[in-house]
Chain A
Amino acid sequence: MIHWNSFADFLAMGGYGFYVWGSFGLTALIMIVEPIVVARNRKTTIARLKRQLRAETRNTAE
């Protein structure tokens, strides 16, 4: 079923390795980094909003 004879063949991609893995590599990078960035953004926003909320309640309480 599997098309390749060896792992080395798979990596070489018939001579096109640079192009194929350059494509798959960037894709993997994007699909890892994008969710991480979104998650980190969420954390920062929540922290900031909490801070603002605390500041506002402190101001109105005074």
Chain B
Amino acid sequence: MFKIIAAVIRRDLKLAMRRQADIVSAVFFFIIVVSLFPLGIGPEPDLLRKLAPGVLWVAALLATMLSLPRLFADDHRDGTLEQLALAPHPLGLVVTGKVIAHWLVSGLPLALIAPVLGLQFDLSAEALVVLTGAILLGTPALSGIGAIGAALTLGLRGGGVLLSLLVLPLYIPVLIFGAGAVDATVSGLGGEGHLSLLAALTFASLGFAPWASAAALKIALE
């Protein structure tokens, strides 16, 4: 089972490396969106510190949304996806590999950049650590849940906007617990509760989402 997932991950990463511009532009989108908020709200440090977790998380959600269509669309366009669906391996495992590969090139870079951006908002070191950890922990869930949306909207016109409409409501719990973990740390209550729930969401979505996505792909490919 792991061989299939590893093979898919290796393939998707290789393909992603040929289009590094996509990855880099998603990261730059994240940076720009986060930087827009202090410009729009004003430079007052207390306000920025309070808003930072939410702002960073919303930006991470939006940056992930941007990269989701790529998950299946490229393979769909050249017929690879149909071949993968017809292959003897369970499509759910293939999707698991794609989701992990997607996270490696979208969620992981965001988590690595986030502490640097958090400095712009004058977050304490402790808050930065929790923020990075939360984004690391929560972005796999974003990739997993996003895969369901990407599969449902495969090949549809107006795909990107429709995808956002479907997926963002499902992202809300991740947002709430992810930002809440940092807020709780800053206010002294401790973010463990939020982080545990976040971990639960990630594991649940990684366990469940690939199979829902596979079912959605089969519907889309009929």
Is chain B in direct contact with chain A in the complex (CB below 8 A)? no
